[in-house]
């Protein structure tokens, strides 16, 4: 049996990344940002001059893709040829194309395998879109973190990022393979009127009470 896995899913800019990172810190678990993994593949595909809509060309480079998925302390990192990727992951071109790349089943299969590997030796808090539905369908700890579209757009703007979150959510929800959807047994957390501290306290208390 693997160590515990906490699944935190939700739409873009729902605050799930910040929340997941803080919950991981509080519990002493490793934080895994799976969006960064899809973003890294997207950045690499664009770097190679490949059109993300050309599914066959994307699939062809996957076996030799020089990305590796590790950790810095208790936080996941993505490396390309040994260099940690950072600003590459939030480039406008990455934002604009990540949903196209994330809809390719072979990309998802590759990354889901890497995501599960993180949990073989240690407890994790993993955030994404399909963690409760596909990556860890058997975990009892599933949270679907959301907020109204206006609140989410304001949060992105406050980060100084221009990101068409509504368009990404539409594509992420409509794709055939592992769409953004709430697992039947997930707990819904609407953060529109909650502070980050309140959300973290609420979820951490729920996990603790159920682990006790």
Binding site residues, ligand DC, CB under 6 A: 12, 34-35, 38-39, 98-99, 102, 128-130, 168, 172
Nearer to ligand DC by Cβ, of 173 and 210: the residue is: 173
CB of 75 to ligand DC, least distance (A): 14
**What residue ranges in the chain does DSSP mark as E strands?**
5-9, 30-33, 67-72, 75-80, 83-84, 124-128, 141-146, 187-190
Residue number, 35 or 123, with CB nearest to ligand DC = 35
- In this complex, which beta carbon is closest to ligand DC, that of residue 38 or of residue 208? 38
Are 30 and 55 contacting, i.e. CB atoms less than 8 angstroms apart?
no
Q: Whole-angstrom Cα distance, residue 163 to residue 175?
A: 19
Q: Which is nearer to ligand DC, 20 or 207 (CB)?
A: 20
**Shortest reach from residue 184's CB to ligand DC, in Å:** 18
147 burial class (0-12, 13-18, 19+ CB within 10 angstroms)?
Answer: buried
Q: How far is the CB of 51 from ligand DC (least distance, A)?
A: 18
Locate 87 and state its tokens: 């600003």
Q: Smallest gap, in angstroms, from Cβ of residue 209 to ligand DC?
A: 26
């Amino acid at each position: 049996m693997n160590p515990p896995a906490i699944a935190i899913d939700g739409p873009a800019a729902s605050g799930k990344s910040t929340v997941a990172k803080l919950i991981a810190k509080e519990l002493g678990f490793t934080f895994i940002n799976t969006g960064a993994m899809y973003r890294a593949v997207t950045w690499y595909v664009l770097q190679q001059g490949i059109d993300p809509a050309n599914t066959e060309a994307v699939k062809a480079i996957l076996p030799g893709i020089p990305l590796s998925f590790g950790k810095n302390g208790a936080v996941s990192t993505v490396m390309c040829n040994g260099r940690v990727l950072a600003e590459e992951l939030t480039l406008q071109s990455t934002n604009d194309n990540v949903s196209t790349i994330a809809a390719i089943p072979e990309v998802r299969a590759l990354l889901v395998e890497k995501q599960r590997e993180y949990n073989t030796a240690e407890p994790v808090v993993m955030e994404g879109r399909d963690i409760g539905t596909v990556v860890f369908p058997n975990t009892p700890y599933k949270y679907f973190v959301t907020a109204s579209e206006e609140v989410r757009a304001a949060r992105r703007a406050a980060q100084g990022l221009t990101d068409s979150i509504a368009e990404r959510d539409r594509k992420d929800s409509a794709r055939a393979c592992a769409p953004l959807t709430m697992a039947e047994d997930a707990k819904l957390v609407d953060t529109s009127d909650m502070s980050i501290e309140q959300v973290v306290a609420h979820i951490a208390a729920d996990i603790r009470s159920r682990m006790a």
